[in-house]
Chains A and B, each alone.
Chain A
Amino acid sequence: MKQININNYKFLSSPPFGELEGTKTIDMSTKKVAGSEAVILSLLEEGVDTIFGYPGGAIMPVYDSLYDYGQKVKHVLTRHEQGAVHAAEGYAKVTGRAGVCFATSGPGATNLITGIADAMIDSIPLVCITGQVTSPLLGTDAFQESDVVGISMPVTKWNYQVTTPEEIPEAIAQAFYIAQSGRPGPVLLDITKDAQFGELDFEYKKCNKIRSYVPETPVDPFKVEEAAKLIDKSEKPMVLVGQGVIISNAEEEFKTFVEKAGLPVAWTLLGLSAFPTEHRLNVGMLGMHGNYGPNKLTNEADLIIAVGMRFDDRVTGKVSEYATNAKIIHIEIDPSEINKIVKADVPVLGDAKKVLSMLINNIKENYHESWLEEFRRCDVVEVEKVIEKDIQPTKEGLTMGEVVSMASEKSNHEAILVTDVGQQQMVASRYFKFKHSKSNVTSGGLGTMGYALPASMGAQLGAPDRTVVAVIGDGGFQMTIQELGTIWQNKLPVKIIILNNNFLGMVRQWQQLFFEKRYSFTELQNPDFITIAKGFGIDGHKVEKREGLEEGIQKMFAHEGPYLLEVVVEKEDNVFPMVPAGASVSDVILEP
């Protein structure tokens, strides 16, 4: 019979923060394991080193088993299940591995849903494990029973209810395979309490194939050739880089590709950090609050090469007036994305890394200096009309732009940026600079306020050696403020910057621009954030004047543990450029 010595399980990353308890050796020749223990053993087999979760009745057996494995896996007790799932997303974003979270049945499970929906739309691998009432009680409206498989179906890549202990190892193996392969996404396993209590002979086999599931299509060399021909003959090509490049670890291939053909690179919100900010071919951000050049020139380009992005409406603006002069090459792993929004002249299905490696060999060396010059001319306009005022303001009030750009500079552009949703998210994405990939964590597709604080915890645990900066609005911060407790208890040294404009800023901006300044329920009366942080044991400091900004930021980075820097910014600043909703990208405006 097989002996499992759990001391064989090692952490994949450096040891987590804080002390750990519990050691256990199980002798498989004398003991069957409980389903709950099989859950933990399966996670260890998958190399899981961190779990985010919150216990409750229906998942208590799993928590009881977890008690014995403290030295093998770190569990982070969040203050709300939404915190757990966003933390798991943050962890997944910076590591590229599935984030794992636990919740109990009923309210525990439903509290996960926002984060699961967020992960679904942003293609983030998650394995969520929920406890469920014991199987004879299913469907009886038992205490804390909710149909979480039904509820989560539209927002999971896959979900499954486990009702017997024997199914556990295989279900978990499939869960990890599905979550992490192809276009990643969240999966949910709902495990009944009797399946957790029951026993099984534990044996684990990783999953690497499911017959009804094709994670990626083999690359068609003819399509690659066709794409290469278009690229070679294009005079005004533009590359749109999305998260696909980050997910497939294709950053190097991508760089080689664009450098070889001299292609201007514009990025989506989720593609941010895939390509270094200071690279000469980087022409900036796409979309509603993106840079002037890439929006304006989309309709001048004769070729769009989209890599691992999905033509979100925030990127395209009015689709019928999008890229009107361009042929489209769409490199994409998910067949259902092809022609979903924008019709591709040459779709190239497959994993970005593989497609790009082939493409590199098919294209000619080239340069497009005069075309790049057009982007630079747009930059000059944008600098004069927007950027200078944002990052070197002469008015009295502080701007979000100057805070973010100083934070980026003081972290030597090496930090991981986590943003919440709203004005601060757009400004931070525009002005924070990146040298490394997997360094931008934000809620793109769903735009989930309250995301940043918990996601920063996961990012910090996933990348313990890096500086993590969370930039959050005063509104969003109060949606998951309780996670300050988790940050403190786990000694996570995240640097939190609240950009406080005393408004739900982005909504207020729309009210100003499109609803005649009728500020309906967007002004906030805020608490004293520093006192709150201190109540949680977290040091902090409030900056109200420009003179104190640099020192405040330096102090924050010099501080050993978590730190909260509140910066009071101008109340009614707006984010520009802006592609007004429903307008064409080339109608991007620089001022109201």
Chain B
Amino acid sequence: MKKEFIITIFTENHIGLLNRVTIVFTRRKVNIESLTVSESALPGISKFTIVINANEEQVVKIVGQIEKQIDVLKAFFHTNEEMIYQEIALYKVRTEELYKSDAIEKMARNAGARILEITKEYTVIEKTGHKEETQALFEELNQFKVMQFIRSGRVAITRDPIERLSEFLKERDAILNQVD
């Protein structure tokens, strides 16, 4: 059965690696729902967060193929329940609408969103949350014609107390010293 999985990949920060990673999905005709790349807690190491819809067997194989790439340190996969995750969304609405009634302000307040910038023409609202939540706010605001809308890729963090990457690197060193 297909469901959402979050794949987390730690890699060296090398040119072209994103391409190598996405090829693994493309080859298996698996669509990437969301992708975020940023520097991890350890300098020089990038962290990919990728969301896909797939069945577990597919994910296991994909993660295996990703880990096999030379510049990939480690790849994990989790179900949504196993992680704390967020996406961020930005909405641009007409400032005029904001002044007409207090509807927009209420919507933002109820959704726990905040207003980032107000100009004469437009107002930018920001909300973090799960996709359904940012989507719900979009639909509400869209009664007043949202001028622009953007949602980020997912960022996610495990429920472990710390990112085990540095420990992982130590273990990796031990393995590398053991085999040769």
Contact = CB atoms under 8 A, between A and B. Distances in A.
B67 A213 contact: no
A340 interface: yes
Contacts of B16: 149-150, 153, 159, 161
A107 interface: no
Interface in B127-171: 169
A394 interface: no
Measured as residues with beta carbon below 8 angstroms from the partner, the interface class of chain B is 20 to 34
A339 interface: yes
Contacts of A161: 15-16
Interface in A44-59: none
A211 B65 contact: no
Interface residues of A, number: 26
Contacts of A339: 60
B1 interface: no
A218 B70 contact: no
Contacts of B176: 209, 211, 214
Interface of B is mostly: helix
A178 B70 contact: yes
B19 to A, nearest CB: 6
B172 interface: yes
B61 interface: yes
B112 interface: no
B172 A336 contact: no
Given A153-B16, A154-B23, A154-B27, A211 B173 contact: yes
A336 B70 contact: no
A335 B12 CA distance: 20
Contacts of A9: none
A159 B17 CA distance: 10
Interface string A504-521: 000000000000000000
A525 interface: no
A252 B59 CA distance: 38
B20 A153 contact: yes
Contacts of B179: 214-218
B119 interface: no
A335 B67 contact: yes
A340 B173 contact: no
Interface in A152-181: 153-154, 157-159, 161, 178
A218 B178 contact: yes
A153 B21 CA distance: 10
B73 interface: yes
Nearest to B172: A211
Nearest to A178: B70
A104 B23 CA distance: 26
Interface in B46-103: 60-61, 64-65, 67-68, 70-73
* A161, A211, A215, most chain B CB atoms within 10 A: A211
B121 interface: no
B180 interface: yes
A504 to B, nearest CB: 28
A215 B176 CA distance: 8
Nearest to B169: A211
A336 B180 contact: no
Contact of B70 (A150, A209, A212): A212
19 contacts: A153-B23, A154-B23, A161-B16, A209-B176, A211-B73, A211-B172, A212-B11, A213-B70, A214-B172, A214-B176, A214-B179, A217-B175, A218-B178, A335-B64, A335-B67, A336-B61, A336-B64, A336-B68, A339-B60
Q: 4 tightest A-B contacts by CB? A: A336-B64, A158-B70, A212-B73, A213-B70
Given A161-B15, A217-B179, A339-B60, 14 more contacts: A150-B19, A153-B19, A153-B20, A154-B27, A158-B70, A158-B71, A210-B70, A211-B172, A212-B71, A214-B179, A215-B179, A217-B175, A335-B67, A336-B68
